[in-house]
């Protein structure tokens, strides 16, 4: 499914974009006017590849930009792209056949002939949603250009503003959110990481970019012990300081490893847990501050598991059993997820053609609902159930976590009898659980190392200390982060394990100066707008140099 990457004359690109947009407009509602125009999505439509956020002030799940089409449609020529914003009301009872969807206009500066896809969102302390990264595309079949703008959306007025345009562009196909952004105490930044470098040889990289609440973008050179470069991975914010990176794909194939990024220390640590299935475009929710639940995605593996989860208390992984698999999609990816009590709300998305995550298939339903339950028949762990109706938690507050599993009621709607302890404006996932997941079964080795360090320190204390000259030591000059070629995940021997804070070198903050325009390879008539790797990842072609030009056969 790999497509040849080329650059094309601007006139040819414009003609091609106009043709495909006219075809898409005949089949599906897309942005049809200026940025202030209205925008709506019906229950017979779905969106995927959008950025998502949940606001506790409005009890709504917002979807921004993305690919749009009729549910059940699989022809890329009949899909559109949009800069539109819409929301799902999670304060109301509803059925999946008639979800309460509301449009909120379009992003400032994105016209009717373009859309913003695969961007990232964050919720600021003042409840504005900022959006950055992604690509500006003319249609769903031709790849676009890196989005240089940072947008802010104010839900109280349904108004969006372009707050900045940066000359520092983030990589293409960067990591996508694990679930909808929520407001977390003290968080004023948005992180974008991994992706494909914008200049040849177009390496898969693991760089980290920070976007401030004013729209400024900074490249953080966190390359020491960084994960292998990858594209279209999932980056899930666990709390105010920690993020969970998982999966992804690229020239090295699909990934299943997981990494924790400590924003406060600019440090990566590899988790002892790896997902059972290597995948990209999957989603992650954290349940009961204990379970990391992976939902859907695309893969090259023969066996497809829609759900797997990791228990941070026991350090074990399990396949998520769905008790009624025929009542929901057999595969799904690239939609919006949000956990409300014990219900996973999945907004939009796209299924795979073979139900095994190997190729893009039809557009998913507008909304799918998945209830989390305790495993039946005396088994430990969790099980899952597709449900057809939704009811808000009894405390009328959407949550990112619930302490007690739900009990299904007769109409297929979960009822929560637990303590909804972690709201969408909380501190997030506990650091203790993160440490447990990172260290896992290597805790004993780490303890032995600490004991060794203690004895070594005692020995050094008894030795003479060399006198050092007084005076200040100049800081090292800033360094540019070198591209990191994709490589196989390193296997760390037991004797090499040290405490997390000791294995990461001090970070270097880089304020990069970049050219006004960056040459980026284009995709002509991409059959696969999500850029899924081929079934045999090693068969992926290396993108040609930007100097190669060809007029596409439209």
SS3 155: coil
pLDDT digits (tens, 9 = 90+) for 513-550: 333 333 333 333 333 444 444 444 443 333 333 333 33
Number of domains in the chain: 2
Quote the mean pLDDT of the chain. Answer: 75
By residue range, what is the domain housing residue 138?
Answer: 1-152+521-554
Confirm whether 204 is domain-assigned.
no
Q: In this structure, are strands 129-132 and 350-352 parallel, antiparallel, or unpaired?
A: unpaired
Residue 489 in domain: no
pTM comes to: 0.73
Place of tokens 């057809």: 388
Query: Do the beta carbons of residue 231 and residue 239 sit within 8 Å?
Result: no
Residue 403 domain-assigned?
yes
Tell me: do 416 and 308 sit in the same domain. Answer: yes
Q: Assess if residue 477 is contained within a domain.
A: no
Q: Are residues 290 and 420 in the same domain?
A: yes
Read off the pLDDT of residues 327-366 as tens digits, 9 standing for 90 and up: 999 999 999 999 999 999 999 999 999 999 999 999 999 9
- The DSSP H or E segment spanning 445 is helix 443-461
Which of the listed residues 429, 447, 463 is the one where a domain comes to its end?
A: 429
Q: Report whether 301 contacts 308 (CB < 8 A).
A: no
Q: Are residues 15 and 147 in the same domain?
A: yes
Helices (H) and strands (E) in the chain, counts: 3, 39
Whether 423 and 528 map to the same domain: the answer is: no
- Does residue 424 share a domain with residue 280? yes
Q: Looking at residue 541, what is its pLDDT?
A: 37
Tell me what pLDDT residue 320 has. 96
Q: Report yes or no on 499 lying in a domain.
A: no
Of 396, 429, 462, the domain-final residue: 429
Residue 380 lies in a domain: yes
Work out the pLDDT band at 458, boundaries 50, 70, 90. very low
Residue 532 is assigned to a structural domain of this protein? yes
Do 295 and 413 lie in one domain? The reply is yes
The answer to the question of residue 540 being in a domain is yes
For the chain, give the percent of residues with pLDDT over 90: 58
Last residue of a domain, one of 391, 407, 429: 429
State whether 425 and 546 are in the same domain.
Answer: no
User: What is the C-alpha separation between 163 and 103, in angstroms, rounded?
Assistant: 22
Token representation of residue 210: 């920070």
Which three-class secondary structure state does DSSP give residue 91?
Answer: coil
- pLDDT at res. 232: 98
């Amino acid at each position: 499914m790999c497509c040849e990457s080329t650059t094309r004359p601007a006139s040819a690109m414009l003609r091609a974009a106009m043709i495909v947009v006219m075809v898409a407009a005949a089949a599906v509602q897309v942005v049809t006017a200026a940025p202030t125009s209205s925008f709506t999505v019906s229950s017979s439509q779905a969106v995927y590849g959008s950025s998502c956020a949940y606001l506790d002030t409005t009890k709504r799940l917002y979807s921004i930009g993305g690919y749009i089409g009729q549910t059940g449609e699989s022809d890329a020529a009949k899909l559109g792209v949009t800069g539109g914003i819409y929301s799902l009301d999670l304060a109301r009872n509803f059925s999946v056949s008639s979800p309460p969807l509301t449009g909120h206009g379009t992003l400032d500066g994105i016209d009717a002939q373009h859309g913003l896809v695969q961007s990232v969102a964050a919720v600021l302390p003042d409840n504005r949603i900022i959006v950055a990264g992604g690509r500006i595309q003319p249609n769903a079949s031709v790849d676009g250009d890196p989005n240089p703008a940072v947008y802010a959306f104010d839900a109280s007025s349904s108004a969006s503003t372009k707050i900045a345009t940066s000359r520092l562009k983030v990589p293409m196909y960067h990591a996508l959110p694990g679930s909808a952004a929520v407001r977390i105490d003290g968080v004023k930044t948005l992180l974008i990481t991994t992706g494909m470098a914008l200049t040849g040889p177009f390496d898969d990289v693991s760089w980290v970019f920070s976007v401030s609440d004013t729209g400024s973008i900074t490249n953080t050179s966190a390359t020491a012990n960084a994960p292998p470069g990858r594209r279209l991975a999932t980056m899930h914010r666990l709390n105010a300081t920690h993020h969970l990176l998982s999966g992804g794909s690229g020239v090295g194939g699909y990934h299943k490893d997981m990494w924790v990024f400590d924003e406060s220390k600019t440090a990566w640590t590899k988790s002892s847990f790896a997902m059972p299935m290597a995948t990209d475009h999957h989603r992650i929710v954290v349940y009961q501050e204990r379970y990391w639940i992976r939902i859907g995605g695309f893969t090259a593996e023969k066996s497809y598991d829609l759900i797997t989860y990791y228990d941070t208390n026991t350090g074990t992984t399990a396949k998520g059993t769905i008790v009624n698999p025929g009542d929901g999609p057999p595969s799904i990816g690239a939609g919006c997820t949000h956990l409300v009590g014990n219900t996973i709300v999945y907004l939009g998305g796209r299924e795979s053609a073979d139900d095994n995550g190997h190729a893009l298939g039809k557009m998913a339903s507008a909304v799918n609902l998945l209830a989390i339950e305790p495993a039946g028949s005396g088994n430990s762990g969790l099980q899952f159930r597709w449900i057809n109706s939704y009811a808000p938690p009894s405390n009328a507050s959407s949550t990112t976590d619930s302490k007690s599993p739900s009990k299904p009621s007769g109409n297929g709607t979960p009822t929560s009898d637990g303590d909804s302890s972690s709201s969408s404006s909380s501190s997030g996932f506990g650091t203790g659980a993160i440490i447990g997941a990172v260290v896992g079964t290597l805790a004993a080795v780490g303890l032995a190392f600490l004991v060794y360090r203690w004895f070594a320190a005692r020995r050094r204390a008894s030795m003479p200390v060399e006198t050092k000259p007084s005076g200040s030591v100049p800081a090292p000059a800033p360094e540019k982060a070198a591209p990191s070629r994709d490589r196989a995940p390193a296997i760390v021997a037991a004797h090499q394990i040290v405490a997390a804070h000791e294995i990461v070198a001090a970070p270097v903050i880089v304020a990069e100066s970049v050219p006004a325009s960056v040459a980026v390879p284009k995709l002509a008539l991409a059959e696969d707008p999500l850029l899924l790797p081929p079934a045999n990842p090693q068969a992926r072609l290396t993108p040609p140099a930007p100097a190669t030009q060809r007029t596409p056969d439209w």
